[in-house]
Amino acid sequence: MWKPQSPCLTRFLSDFTLGFSDGLTVPFALTAGLSSLGRADTVIYAGLAELCAGSISMGIGGYLSALDELPRSIGHKDQGLDSNDDEEELRGMLRDRSSGGASSNVSDSLDEKDLEQESRDDIIRSHLEPLGLPHTTVLEILITLRDRPDGVERAIRRLQQNSVLTEPLSNQLLPVWPIASGLSISLGYVIGGIIPLFPYFFTSTVGTGLQWSIVFCLIALMAFGSGKSWALRGEDRSLKKSLWEGFQMLILGSLAAGAAILCVNLVGAGSESGQ
């Protein structure tokens, strides 16, 4: 049976994707622009310098952004703890009332049971209300549950379990750890930025390095988009959907690469005409 993805993994991939996409785009645009100078050393040194500065900047930005999210997430957790405390307090009050009911009269104990039964019926009615069932049908369901031993209690437990299992992941609070968030973004930027820079270490000419850099970036976009979709979709995962997500990321990356090369050509044409 498939288990939901860990919120920590979801948070890591979200931060890593942010750094990875920027790491592919910014260093690639820089190396593509500097390749017009015709010197591989200049492209490599400038690319490494930008990679170091960009990863530090992105990591600090992610750390500060996570710090802003931290008080809000703590507030939600405190609200959850308060609600749990209120529930425990209410249960304690009910236990105290039930323990003291032996010394009270029979009418008081009956009133307590009626109120408790009415509250349970309201919980079941709240789950049946979206179905638009007739009032008589709802009453028949409640009567049937009452006739069974612990029928109402078991129905409430099942409804609560189903509500937790069907709650969308987007409505759940993702864990926020500022240091891990900053490191994840910085790591994604470094890995994404080294890909367009890598071919320049081994090619003989800058033009060949630029061509291989484009190929490497497109392959990385396709692979990363498909892999991330496969990892996060869980039970709904399929090869077709994952490849489609990777293809979408490939198209967006191609547009960014095309825009960078177009800017380089326009600047180069302008400088040549000026001379």
Nearest CA-CA partner of 259 in 48, 33, 82, 105: 33
72-98 mean pLDDT: 50
Radius of gyration of the chain, Cα coordinates, nearest whole angstrom: 30
Residues 6+ apart with CB under 8 A from 261: 32, 214
The per-residue pLDDT for 114 is 66
Give CA–CA dist 158/94, Å, rounded.
23
Question: Taking 60 as the threshold, does the pLDDT of residue 171 lie above it?
Answer: no
What band does 2 get if pLDDT is binned at 50, 70 and 90?
very low
* Helix H or strand E segment including 235: none
The per-residue pLDDT for 80 is 47
Give CA–CA dist 266/272, Å, rounded.
10
Q: Read off the pTM.
A: 0.57
Measuring CA to CA, how many Å separate 21 from each of 16, 122, 214, 228?
A: 9, 50, 14, 13
Measuring CA to CA, how many Å separate 140 from each of 76, 120, 134?
A: 39, 15, 10
Decide which of 255 and 236 is more confident: 255
Identify which of 63-67, 97-101, 106-110 has the greatest average pLDDT: 63-67
Decide which of 55 and 86 is more confident: 55
Decide which of 186 and 71 is more confident: 186
